[in-house]
Structure 1
Amino acid sequence: MNIEERLLTINSYSRSGEKQNKIENIVVHWVGNAESSAIANRNYFENLRNTHKTYASSHYVIGLNGEIIRCIPEDEVAFHSGSYSMNRKSIGIEDCHPDWEGKFNENTYNSLVELCADICKRYELSVDNIIRHYDVTGKECPRYYVRNEQEWIKFKNDVANKLGQATVNTAVKEEQGSEEVPMLKFKNGRTVEPIYADCNHTVKIGSLNKYEECECFGIFNGAPMVRYRVGNSNNYKIGFAVDVRCVK
């Protein structure tokens, strides 16, 4: 299995540099853009640092020829699942597809099976730990494998066979409950708080007003990671504050 490393530049919109917790899941996606290539999707993630259109990325993108591009190291968080707690404990894989039905072609499918098996071996996961984006948020992703449950089960069984594990007969393992990480607040004090693009506070991207409050995802390398409103608009950014005493 060949993996081309084309790591994204550290930025607030696609690669924050935040470290993962223990890896517990692999989340499978479709790119949602028929006939697009792996490198085009990787470059879309990279360009978000300039366009600021959204927050999105994945650890890997698998192309129509079966090529695998690594965008983010596995020990860092990618913005792929729509759930902050899931992002902090999972590896996201985006897969290219030839049409809007969303079925992966043979090249993409075989590389996905091989990559998932490799990740499962290295993190001691079972195929029950391989899930769809749909299983996290209900989004129809990857479309074909949401609309065709038996095809998703077949995929998991193909990974199980490669691992020598028992096969499965349900799409998703039943869970007794899920544990969400509670959202913290950053409550600014009597001075303007600068916000930076990275936890080392090298590139300033904004600021919080006096007594302004916003969401805080936690403290990483001594810096609070916050999501704050840009001025009086409905746009938000993610960045790193300075004063950890403001985290509540």
Structure 2
Amino acid sequence: MTDGKRTPWVVGVSGASGTPYAASVLRGLLAAGESVDLVVSRASRLTLLDETGIAFRDAHWREDLGEWLARGADSKPGTFTVPDLGDVRYWAAGDLAAGPSSGSYPVKGMLIVPASTACVAGVALGLSKDLLQRTASVTLKERRPLVVAVRETPLNGQTLKHLVALDEAGAVVLPASPAFYAGATHIQDLVDFVAGRVLDAAGVPHRLYRRWEGELGGGAPGGGAPGGARGTSHAPGS
């Protein structure tokens, strides 16, 4: 909050595989007391339906978002307690008159999680074909933080050029590439690592993964925090 005004992070969810990454980032932002504006692309609804079985609906977005955030990376319902969604604002992807489409709308920055190669191309070329791309373009022109968690492999030359263009424009290009030194024992740990790195790039505090402290063996079974990485990530039901 700035001068009593709501100043959210915009979270854009594109159609790439990796909806658990978005859910973990959203839980992390809300746990840190951040306001959130959410934009879910049309393509991402198909991915969300395929990966979780949730049909995300504009008219029932709060109910559907709560169900989504309660699921773990394995899509098991009830893994997490639904966070308070009172400071989440949802904007339809086709609403090009939405608040975040204007540079005068106050936001801290934007996190695109996950980012498809089509989304990357659209933002790099300034196409603004939907609210997600338009908001990303506004974020760049206003010199606000933009984190692009690209989720694709392998990457062709054209996409690599687009990613370089985003980097040169000031965005943080953050491949959804989980690490293993944090002592992952569950798929959720790998998801939380990537989500934690996204929040790191945004400067948002969190406890999603065990950080490197310069000692070898800390990520091995029995090393580091009790329970491995799960000792510092969101425990089921927390």
Note whether the superposition's TM-score is higher than 0.5.
no
Which structure has the highest strand share of the two? 1
Question: RCO (CA 8 Å, sep 6+): is it higher in 1 or 2?
Answer: 2
Which structure has the highest helix share of the two? 2
User: Normalising to structure 2: TM-score of the pair?
Assistant: 0.31
User: Normalising to structure 1: TM-score of the pair?
Assistant: 0.30
- Highest Rg: 1 or 2? 1
